[in-house]
Amino acid sequence: MATLANTATTIESAAQTVFKNEPFVDFTRLENVRAMREALDKVRRQLGREYENVVGGHRVRTTAKSKSINPSHPEQVVGIFQKAGAEDVPAAIAAAQKAFEGWSRTPVETRATLLFRVAQALRERKFEWSAWLVFEVGKSWVEADADVAETIDFAEFYGREALRLAKSVPPIQLPGEHDELRYIPLGVGAVIPPWNFPSAIMAGMTLASIVCGNTVVLKPSGDAMTIAAKFYELLEQNGLPDGVVNFVTGGGSSFGNELVKHPQTRFISFTGSKEVGLHIHELAAKAQPGQIWIKRTVLEMGGKDSILVDSDSDLDEAAAGVIASAFGFSGQKCSACSRAIVDERVYDKFVERLKDRAEKLTIGPAEENPNLGPVVNEGARKTILDYIQKGIAEGGRLITGGKAVEGLDGYFIHPTIISEVKPGDTIEQQEIFGPVLAVIRCKDFHEGLRIANDTEFGLTGAVYTKSAERQELAKQEFHVGNLYINRKCTGAMVGAHPFGGFNMSGTDSKAGGPDYLLLFTQAKSIARKL
């Protein structure tokens, strides 16, 4: 294992460079295609391994096991994992508490160095890391690479942000005093990430927690346990002390609930569905015997995102943006465009453009690098197909897709467009999390904004319009945490687009922004009389 003793070189090099987003891999270059295929072959030979839980640096096995499978080929086991229960929570919390005593007092420069080393290690293993994402959750090469690049960005950005936060000073120095403002860690946290960005969000939540001096219990999604296990191994290889991150796979209703409820859990960082997020929030709100704090919840819970297409917009650009936002990673993004709201004066033309583009998309096993790979599991496929039938039954017109792909053994669904969807219809209101786009007709831009805002969510949205006046109106009235103008509503970039939403989309945590680390700290004001 590497140590964190020699931090000066890493910190100095980071401090002297301005943060820049990690560039994406250009897969039109043959050498990159060759490197990706070699990585896929390498990872394929490692599939099916059993991974242990790690608590306080000790490897732990349980009698019950669970499996992560390849959604492109469900018969292919990606990894075998332990299945911890409620009885395993106290040991994980105790290990994190013990590690907190030393880690919370470790200089921020040392903690930041760990993040910078992780970023560099990921750069060196970028193709291999992407290959794991291809196999475990069915990401195309481009989507996997974007996930890895964002992971690197989080490591670099949060390391720098921690160093910046450590230099905070109060805005006023009173005469006769020396006044300080310190951001200190909270304590032991539960990190519960999703499967759809199994590297970036999982790593980002974990790294933000620990760079601030907290220790965590990391419980990954049951559909994305392998990449989390690989990430824990990467942390170990780069000097992570025992117990700072405790890697535990287990059921949400048993291990997860007890983890959230435990009186020594200080905060919960969660990304996932609205239903689970609200359940976590409710559990966390009830003080347990022996609990001496109000638990903090950092929740990102999904969306019902829309793109509003004005009558004066460039329809080809708008169609490209809607298609990319709706069907990237088969629509399995909380930021995905699941509603296109289109001015009636261009509605029919725009629907035809959408149909033409959607029917040119390729579908297949993720390792073959299609436009659309599988949805994550059999349950998701069934739910998505049920939503499609509901949309048609409520009066929607099926334009293209609408069914599972025949001849493939994975969980594939054709990209689906349903037009003539009415405001208030089921597929216009509920998050589907699949390759389904509802197209809604509006009279004008003002009515389109009202339809866009008529949802319990408020995560992302976009408008396509040439009108400066209507752009300003959208800035003022479109009630979302991330608004995009004349571009797609997915693909938030660390630093440029702090990410998080309003209403039932969560606590507006703004991951990748200058406020994010504040969620994992508490401010301590210190005044010393001179």
DSSP 269-314: EEES-HHHHHHHHHHHHSPPTT--SPPEEEEE----EEEEE-TTS-
**pLDDT digits over 304-343, tens only?**
999 999 999 999 999 999 999 999 999 999 999 999 999 9
Of 7-16, 32-41, 87-96, 342-351, the range with the lowest mean pLDDT is 7-16
**pLDDT digits over 406-445, tens only?**
999 999 999 999 999 999 999 999 999 999 999 999 999 9
Domains of the chain: 27-301+509-529 (3.40.605.10), 305-493 (3.40.309.10)
Contact between 243 and 99 (Cβ < 8 Å): yes
Q: Which of 212, 334, 442, 489 is catalytic?
A: 334
Q: Which of 128, 150, 161, 300 is catalytic?
A: 300
pLDDT at 203 over 90: yes
Task: Work out the burial of residue 47: count CB atoms within 10 Å of its CB; fewer than 13 is exposed, 13-18 middle, 19 or more buried.
Answer: middle
pLDDT of residue 98: 98
**pTM of this structure:** 0.97
pLDDT of residue 63: 96
pLDDT band at 7 (very low <50, low <70, confident <90, very high): low
pLDDT of residue 17: 81
Contact between 100 and 267 (Cβ < 8 Å): no
**pLDDT digits over 371-418, tens only?**
999 999 999 999 999 999 999 999 999 999 999 999 999 999 999 999
Residues β-bridged to residue 181: 525
Task: Give me the residue label for tokens 């299609």.
Answer: 370
Active site residue 431: no
pLDDT of residue 16: 66
In percent, the amount of the chain with pLDDT more than 90 equals 96
Residues β-bridged to residue 483: 461
Contact between 358 and 327 (Cβ < 8 Å): yes
pLDDT at 500 over 60: yes
pLDDT of residue 118: 98
Active site residue 334: yes
